Chain A
């Protein structure tokens, strides 16, 4: 890797790490969702500093160039992040559904208690 490439890559990786930590610090990003971003920042830093590890990995997985390996890893990480977001959305959808249902039932109960005439219709 060329020295200029090395410096730019280290700066970008460090910036990503600092940004993630700052977002957590300002409570704009939950700790529960920051670990993947931290892992990406750290992994890119490691790849830049230990470039020979990337070459070794390319040999192991049979990639002709290091760029292909990086592309594959990046694609996999993006897929994993999408899956994590889908999990979060699904979980929140379930929670919203439960909240709406409970709210509907409680509001109906409240109305029944407010208007006892309706109570006669619904024991």
Chain B
């Protein structure tokens, strides 16, 4: 089954980046699904120092593997993917998690607003796709509501799923994210705010997602508490760095 439309960009234009840490048993299937639904895209798996056979699985599925020699965090893994895409001249980057939560058949929905030029960043939202917030844990629901509200107040954007890692970026977004400003650990609301303040057009589209089929979530244990505090501080830093984002906005207008 091939979901690609005739307007689909040519090969060497789209890169699907899949950051992973200990996702063996799930990763190979994710890559095969991407190849099936988006055959024109290249795939780069960023192995964030997995201790299992994730890298071997990715190689077996014929993806390019970018292996970190030490665990750097989810944000740094994404940034490695952006740097690789930037170095190799890709025009569009699609990002999805390696744990099987994000569905490859939804990639074309993310891609559409980028290819028709109506957005620079497209975020796949599980909550506009009919998934109820009730399925999330209480702390996660509070987090989603809080950060959605902060984004709405600060930049007037209605984002229902600010923690979604299922995204598509065009070259402008790629240039911003590979410029050394990307956060190392949890790139969520702060990145959305940073992109909006830099003049990028952000859109949310519905995306069906599955629950994790195994492995450890990066939001397990006490991490949600750290996440909340870190994100609030990170948003504050993004706000006081407004001159940096304004210069990006002006550069874009030139």
Contact = CB atoms under 8 A, between A and B. Distances in A.
Q: Do A and B bind each other?
A: yes
Interface of A: 96-97, 100-101, 103-105, 107-108, 111-112, 118, 121-123
Contacts of B88: 122-123
Contacts of A121: 42-43, 62, 64
Contact of A107 (B67, B76, B87): B67
B68 A104 contact: yes
Given A97-B76, A108-B64, A123 B69 contact: no
A118 B11 contact: no
A101 B87 CA distance: 12
Contact of B68 (A100, A118, A123): A100
B72 A100 contact: yes
Given A105-B84, A105-B87, A108-B84, A100 B64 contact: no
Given A97-B184, A121-B42, 9 more contacts: A100-B70, A103-B69, A104-B67, A105-B80, A107-B67, A108-B44, A108-B64, A111-B64, A122-B44
Given A101-B68, A101-B76, A123 B184 contact: no
Contacts, number: 53
**Chain B interface extent, by class:** 20 to 34
A104 B62 contact: no
A112 B44 CA distance: 12
Given A97-B184, A122-B42, A123-B12, A105 B66 contact: yes
Contacts of B184: 97
Contacts of B76: 97, 100-101
A107 B184 CA distance: 21
A72 B184 CA distance: 36
Mostly helix, strand, loop or mixed at chain B's interface? mixed
27 contacts: A96-B70, A100-B68, A100-B70, A100-B72, A100-B76, A101-B76, A104-B68, A104-B69, A104-B80, A105-B66, A105-B80, A105-B83, A105-B84, A105-B87, A108-B44, A108-B65, A108-B66, A108-B84, A111-B64, A111-B65, A118-B64, A121-B62, A122-B44, A122-B88, A123-B11, A123-B12, A123-B42
Contacts of A118: 62, 64
Contacts of B43: 121
Contact of A122 (B64, B69, B80, B83): B64
A96 B184 CA distance: 12
Nearest to B76: A97
Nearest to B69: A100
Which of A96, A97, A104, A105 has the most chain B CB within a 10 Å cutoff? A104
A101 B67 contact: no
A123 to B, nearest CB: 4
Contacts of B66: 104-105, 107-108
Contacts of A104: 46, 66-69, 80
A107 B43 CA distance: 16
B182 to A, nearest CB: 10
B79 interface: yes
B194 to A, nearest CB: 18
Nearest to A117: B62
